[in-house]
Chain A
Amino acid sequence: MSKKIISLILTIVMFATILVGCASSNSTSTTGSTSQVESDDVSESETEDKTYKVAMILDSSISDGGWGAACYNAMITAAEKCGFETQYTDNLTTADFAPTMRSYADMGFDLIFAPGNQYTDAVKEVAADYPNVYFALLNGTVETDNIVSLLPDAQQIGYMAGALAGLMSKTNSIGFIGGMELDTTKIKLESYEKAAKAVNSNIQVYSAYAGSFSDSAKGKEIADSMVTMNDVDVMFGDASAVDSGAREALSNYENRYDIGQPSDLLAIQESDVVIGSVVTDNAAMLEICMEDVKKGTYGNKTIYGDLSNGAISVGTFSDDVPEDIKEKYLEIVEQIKEGTFIEE
């Protein structure tokens, strides 16, 4: 009987601890956020001293050596220039997009960066409830008072990769690996094919989806099958870590090349496979967002990223690209920039 009472008491104590934890959380949270409250007060008087904060959400990993890493580094670069504090949450499931953004909004973050159009719904939902928090939606098509879309021109990216692949291919077969059937991926594939055919009418384009952005082994198998079956000699991909698997397969063969994106791969790491990169500079676009946040002019616009404003650019070439092809390619890029390369 006494044991029963003891365990009862202990249980109550445990629950009490939890409740106290909750209660004390209120008090500590107020102390914890006083600095922020103060900074809010300050921000009313002298705006320059406020520390702005930006957060990024991601459904894959930020260390995937592809899309996630590129977006994260873009945020870091932009934040350093504009003096923002940064934070991120990665490996999120679909159901957690909105709750995570709500948490950031509750924590007093000024800008939330959602890099992909799969976040559109969640951003819209949260943005409606937090009119004072700003949202930057990469590859998005939404414009409201507190949502700005960043839209790198997927068509130009596809054209640039396709033109280079078409010029470089000796076997007249080129390949493309997609991660998931995202809209931007489909546009890239489509324009990749168009551009390659425009520079070399005999070209054949082979494509496959890995159904994943992380299964590098599958990327290797796809590239391998493309090379052995279809004699593909230049590849381009839109599948993050899967692309690095593809590059490994290509490095086992002579004269097989890959075109990188979205970072300038050859500037970071030497490679015998990568011949060049189509570089997307999301940082430049994010910088515009951050400046807008500071100026208080945020909202109702789409920031386009293309060759003309430098958000898309030509990366470093490898020695495998002959001078004449390089020249020809840069001419084509100029045409793409002018919009005269392929008339719609």
Chain B
Amino acid sequence: MKNMLIKIFVPVISVLCSFIIGAILITIIGGNPMEAYTYLFKGAFCTPANIGETVIKAVPLIFTGLAATFAYKCGVFNLGGEGQFVMGAVVSIWISTTLKGITGIPLIIISLTLGTIAGGIWGAIPGILKITRGLNEIIVSIMLNYVAILFMGYLYTGPLREGNVPQTASVPVKLGRIFSQSRVHYGIVIALILTLIIYYFLFYTSKGFKLRAVGLNQIASQFNGLPVKKFMLFSFIISGAIAGLGGSVELHGTQFRLMSGFGQGYGFDGVAIALIGQLNPIGTVLVAYLFAILRTGATTMQVGSGMPTSVIDIIQALVIVFAVAGSAFINLPKIRQFFSNVFSKPRKEPL
């Protein structure tokens, strides 16, 4: 409980710090920081539609964040979230625009399932290459990101192009909206259920325990007779599948069609979110939501205050810098010692 408090307390302080620096920056360029931040909060919170926008923005980030979390928990680095996200969407658009005779909810279910599988397959490639050929997964997954994005580009300018704009047709069936006054769709429900499943799997099943053991210490796990390679491949496939499902949900829920720039940056955002969320699925959701608040708020702030877009990006980066520095600070051995003197029961952090 005490640790929980610190965990909440430090990010809040860090975010405030970054806002203060941001305020100085805004003042330097001749803006009014109070006004700017007012727009930020207004944009993220103060109407149902805005809150909805924030939730919508959080959905893809939750998926790629969970994908990164799952892989990291098993000690493998999946930087290919973007490629898997895109491939999930690519297969979904292909299935849902070409499959005849099925409509409505069954079509969505088929499309989401196949998108998930596609993401899993795209995620399996670095996994297989790692365990059979000893290839570094970082390089393979980065290369596969480029290939996936170019392949998507080929599809929306070539075979799946609709009309005179380089983009695909829109999906025939969209994910339903939960509330009438905002664009929030059932994707958020899928994301939250998935979060709980992953949380349960990682922390309450023996398989999940073994997977985390592999992530903590491969050599020890090997000595204890755990099939390390199998676990690694498994976590890559699941990680890819989560990202693929994310791409599919994003396609059916908010974007409806593929075009230039689809899924851009979500993979790396997911990695950062997972790490800031301390590789905990619930933490991942919270941080994804924080990112979404920042982004929607930032849009309103930029529009309202008329500052250059780059200033907003700088403030966003500062929030990450401070938030992570803050949590790293309290995890320093010296500081942890200090806290363990203050509080009676110190807790070991898994690295």
A residues with a Cβ closer than 8 A to B are 3-4, 7-8, 10-11, 14-15, 17-18, 21-22, 24-26, 28-29, 32, 55, 59, 87, 89-96, 99-100, 102-104, 106-107, 117-118, 120-121, 141, 180-183, 211
Contact = CB atoms under 8 A, between A and B. Distances in A.
B260 interface: yes
A103 B343 contact: no
Contacts of A180: 166, 260
B264 A89 contact: no
Contacts of B256: 121
B337 interface: no
Given A11-B9, A183-B166, A94 B260 contact: yes
A213 B295 CA distance: 24
A330 B265 CA distance: 47
Nearest to B157: A181
A120 B299 contact: no
Given A117-B165, A183-B165, A183-B166, A96 B5 contact: no
B12 A94 contact: no
Contacts of B12: 11, 14-15
Contact of B264 (A25, A90, A94, A121): A94
Interface string B308-319: 011001000000
Given A11-B5, A90-B309, A120 B165 contact: yes
A93 to B, nearest CB: 5
Given A28-B38, A118-B260, A181-B157, A141 B164 contact: yes
B55 to A, nearest CB: 12
A103 B300 contact: yes
Given A14-B13, A26-B46, A181-B166, A32 B38 contact: yes
B255 A28 contact: no
A104 B303 CA distance: 6
B41 interface: yes
Given A99-B296, A181-B166, A89 B302 contact: yes
Closest 5 A/B residue pairs (Cβ): A94-B261, A103-B303, A25-B38, A14-B12, A181-B157
Contacts, number: 116
B38 A107 contact: no
SS class of chain A's interface: helix, strand, loop or mixed?
Answer: helix
B63 interface: no
Contact of B164 (A89, A95, A100, A183): A183
Given A95-B255, A121-B257, A21 B299 contact: no
Nearest to B60: A95
B309 A91 contact: yes
30 contacts: A3-B343, A4-B2, A4-B5, A4-B343, A8-B5, A10-B9, A11-B5, A11-B9, A21-B38, A25-B39, A26-B42, A55-B303, A89-B299, A89-B302, A91-B313, A94-B255, A94-B260, A94-B261, A96-B299, A99-B57, A100-B302, A102-B49, A104-B303, A106-B300, A107-B303, A117-B165, A118-B167, A181-B153, A211-B150, A211-B153
B105 interface: no
A25 B157 contact: no
A114 to B, nearest CB: 13
B318 to A, nearest CB: 17
Given A100-B299, A107-B303, A180-B260, 4 more contacts: A25-B41, A96-B299, A103-B303, A121-B257
A26 B41 CA distance: 10
A4 B166 CA distance: 58
B336 to A, nearest CB: 15
B248 to A, nearest CB: 15
B342 interface: yes
B259 A94 contact: yes
Interface in B239-284: 254-257, 259-262, 264-265
B34 interface: yes
Interface string B132-157: 00000000000000000010010001
A189 to B, nearest CB: 13
A288 to B, nearest CB: 23
B343 A89 contact: no
A122 to B, nearest CB: 10
Contacts of B295: 96
